[in-house]
A and B are shown apart, each in its own frame.
Chain A
Amino acid sequence: MRFMAETGFTSENLSSILSKSSKHAGDAIGALFGAKGDLLLLLSEGRFTAENLSSILHGSGKHAGDAIKALVGVRADLLPLLGQGRFTAENLSNILNGSGKHAGDAVRALVGAKDDLLLLLGEGRFTAENLSSILGSSGKHAGDAVRALVGAKDDLLLLLGEGRFTAENISSILGSSGKHAGDAVRALVGAKDDLLPLLGEGRFTVENLSGILNRSGKNAGDAIRALVGAKDDLLLLLGEGRFTAENLSGILHSSGKNAGDAIRALVVKEPLLTAMLEKFEARSISRKLSGHAAHLSDAIDALYNSVKSELNATTNIPAGAAPELAAQSPVASRTSTERDAS
């Protein structure tokens, strides 16, 4: 209790730090309490809150003491990364979240790459939030992730410089790619010429594509290659004019590494979709299928089976369907009021 009062850590913070310590819980608690002086030093400087530190040290368990010492040891080097137009403590704690016993290596990697990271920040480039989103939760691989991102900085700046992708688009695609950020960036850069035919009037917007690839995370490379591999099929679906780019990207939203399979399922199941489109709103179908990219073929079958009785026949509303008039045109409203009055 005294430890909590002195450091400002809540029981949730402590449990987050000590989680995974399992049979070493005793050692972990000892290490944490033994590092109280170092913790107070970090907190007293007012740059990190108890929440930030708990996020960074999450799961460090019996290595909590070492991790705190490493953090204290490099805190002076972290300072150039913090401040106006640079990173906030929240950004850094998001990047280092869960780095646990590797916190020391992760912090040293961040510090070692600070010049390159600062180069990526700035007007017309990335915000600290963008970079933190890309590197977020890379955990014990934070060091590798930072090095990979910085290693691909020329490619990233090339993508931005061409003006087709914004920093938000790229960050949406690469979000949480963590230690795979380097591979993901290289895949994105390598595929950019193949992605271009998908973009343009009557085709996809960059936002559509980044929506499809959103959260592909560590699989961003595979997802981009899958998307490019299926581009002819996608253009075929668009060319038939039944689905718009918004509908398709809605169905495929966040399909990530499953993008290729999901697109192929759309093409194979096109007759079922076309049958449903005869009676159902494309946007509603798209909303219904959204989030099922991993099993899209099954999802389309299930949806079709649930409505096929309506497609070629009258629409039977069974007893007990609890019909409810949610809205009506003004004249319908007036007419039913007159009916009630009479």
Chain B
Amino acid sequence: MTQTARPDFTARIEQSRALVYDLRVTLNAERRYFIIRVERSRHAAFLRAVERDQGFIFEDFGDILHRGWDEPDEDLKADLRQRFGMYAD
């Protein structure tokens, strides 16, 4: 039991600590969404880059988990809610 429970437990801890954002931008005149997991050491720099809007490269700050147009659909939001506690309200 312990052996099978440990990965789940580790995953849950990892997920509860994940810095995940749903970031929306306008690219080529289209609204886009990026679900990005930000590295802890790059978090402050990421927030500054977003705030300044002077251009940046996503991969400099973390991994893109999902991307698409307009906004994530309800199924993806439900998945992210379960995995990372997003869209809780």
Taking the complex as formed, is A242 at the interface, i.e. its CB lies under 8 A from any CB of chain B?
no
- Residue interface bits B33-71, CB-to-A below 8 A is 1, else 0: 110001000011001001001111111100010111111
Contacts of B75 in A (CB 8 A): 283
Cα distance A157–B15 in the bound complex, in angstroms: 54
Cα distance A310–B67 in the bound complex, in angstroms: 11
Cα distance A335–B47 in the bound complex, in angstroms: 11
Taking the complex as formed, is A113 at the interface, i.e. its CB lies under 8 A from any CB of chain B?
no
Number of chain A residues whose Cβ lies closer than 8 Å to a Cβ of chain B: 32
Cα distance A324–B53 in the bound complex, in angstroms: 10
Identify the closest chain B residue to A281 (Cβ). B68
Taking each of A318, A321, A324, A335, which has the highest tally of chain B beta carbons within 10 Å of its own beta carbon? Answer: A321
CB atoms of B25 and A331 under 8 A apart: no
Contacts of B59 in A (CB 8 A): 314-315
CB atoms of A281 and B55 under 8 A apart: no
Identify the closest chain A residue to B34 (Cβ). A315
Contacts of B78 in A (CB 8 A): none
- Residue interface bits A312-331, CB-to-B below 8 A is 1, else 0: 00111111111111111111
CB atoms of B68 and A332 under 8 A apart: no
Contacts of A335 in B (CB 8 A): 19, 43
Taking the complex as formed, is A336 at the interface, i.e. its CB lies under 8 A from any CB of chain B?
yes
Residues of B within 8 A of A (CB): 16-28, 30, 33-34, 38, 43-44, 47, 50, 53-60, 64, 66-73, 75-76, 84-88
CB atoms of B33 and A326 under 8 A apart: yes
Identify the closest chain A residue to B68 (Cβ). A284
Contacts of A336 in B (CB 8 A): 43, 47
Contacts of B85 in A (CB 8 A): 329-330
Contacts of A285 in B (CB 8 A): 68
Nearest first, the 9 closest Cβ-Cβ pairs linking A and B are A284-B68, A319-B55, A327-B22, A329-B84, A329-B20, A321-B25, A315-B58, A332-B19, A314-B59
CB atoms of A319 and B76 under 8 A apart: no
Identify the closest chain A residue to B84 (Cβ). A329
Interface pairs (29), CB distance under 8 Å: A280-B67, A281-B66, A283-B68, A284-B68, A284-B72, A284-B73, A287-B73, A288-B69, A306-B28, A314-B60, A315-B67, A318-B27, A319-B53, A321-B25, A322-B53, A323-B24, A324-B25, A325-B21, A326-B22, A326-B23, A326-B33, A328-B20, A328-B22, A329-B18, A331-B17, A331-B19, A332-B21, A335-B19, A339-B44
